[in-house]
Amino acid sequence: MTEKFTAPGFRSAARVLTYLIGALALGALSACSLNRTAARVTSGIIDKGLPSVFSQADAQYVKEALPANLQLMELLLKSDPDDKILLVNASRGFCGYALLFLEDESPERASGFYAKGEAYAARALKGAAPAAAGKSDVPPLFWNTFCKALYINLNRDKPEAVAELPTLEPAIEKLLELEPSYYYNGPQCLLGAYYSIRPRMFGGDPDKAKKHFELALKGAGENFLLNRFLYAKLAAVAAQDPELFENLLNAVLSAGPREGETRLIDEVAKTKAKKLLEKKDELF
């Protein structure tokens, strides 16, 4: 019996079997590696191409095209779930699509998109608390906080959503410390939103909200029309200041077109400003 198992023929067969198992394992590993490499390459193309999406003047075109791109990003994340750049772009994409195109038509769908955006940014942060965030964490921390703030604003009637409000402030304060001008003074805009959304009895303060929105309109955020629109929609309404509300929205509507990465958002801000201005009597 021993001779059979140690015979040269058996040893050769065993070597062949070992080789085949190794080759199959290597093939599987190579396929996984190739998928990840392809995902990384495509992720880089998406990252470089996104500015051209936001430079479009035709909002309807982007509204129809963007869902396919969001789905592509989700598919790529299946192959490369830890790609930080792709996670941030997915978060920004879901958040932007919900804000620009879904909130007015379908708040429930928008809420789902905000939740997705928040989750992708949280994955990019790898569970790190705001206090531990560094400069490289600014993009995911911002989009995580922005998605969460917008979700809370849409769901003020849900106690579990309102309970998340206190988590916004430390994240925003960290963003102001690390990069206050990020995304057209986005952290100041976020703090203005925070003081607008929060009930007065729990620390909400329309005057503080207006102060931070005013800071958002300086420097990098001066011509970013979304800042003015959110100022009107959130702080002016919270302060019950119809004159401020009307002035801000009229400023959005009268702004001339600007080429560049904010063109799409500017155009949508104008459309939303017109609709919001029509609701003035309901809000004041």
Answer whether 137's CB lies under 8 Å from 182's CB: no
Give, as one character, the DSSP assignment of residue 89. H
**33-145 shares its CATH topology with 180-284:** yes
Confidence of residue 6 (pLDDT cuts 50, 70, 90): very low
Q: Return mean pLDDT, the chain.
A: 88
Architecture of domain 180-284: Alpha Horseshoe (1.25)
* Dihedral angle sign, alpha carbons of residues 101, 275, 205, 191: positive
- pLDDT tens across 162-201, in order? 999 999 999 999 999 999 999 999 999 999 999 999 999 8
- H helices within the chain, ranges in order? 2-6, 8-54, 59-79, 84-97, 107-125, 138-154, 159-162, 168-178, 182-197, 206-216, 225-230, 237-238, 242-254, 263-277, 280-283
Burial class (CB in 10 A: 0-12, 13-18, 19+), 182: middle
Least confident of 9-18, 34-43, 154-163, 267-276: 9-18
Q: Please measure the distance between the N-terminal and C-terminal CA atoms of the chain and give it in whole angstroms.
A: 96
Contacts of 248 (CB under 8 A, 6+ apart): 228, 229, 231, 232, 236
Side chain identity at residue 92, one-letter code: R
What is the pTM (predicted TM-score) of this model? 0.85
Confidence of residue 127 (pLDDT cuts 50, 70, 90): confident
Q: What are phi and psi of 134, to 5 degrees?
A: -110, -175
Domain extents for the chain?
33-145, 180-284
CA distance 92 to 245: 27
Question: What token pair was written down for 105?
Answer: 């038509």
According to CATH, the superfamily of the domain at 33-145 is TRAP transporter T-component (1.25.40.920)
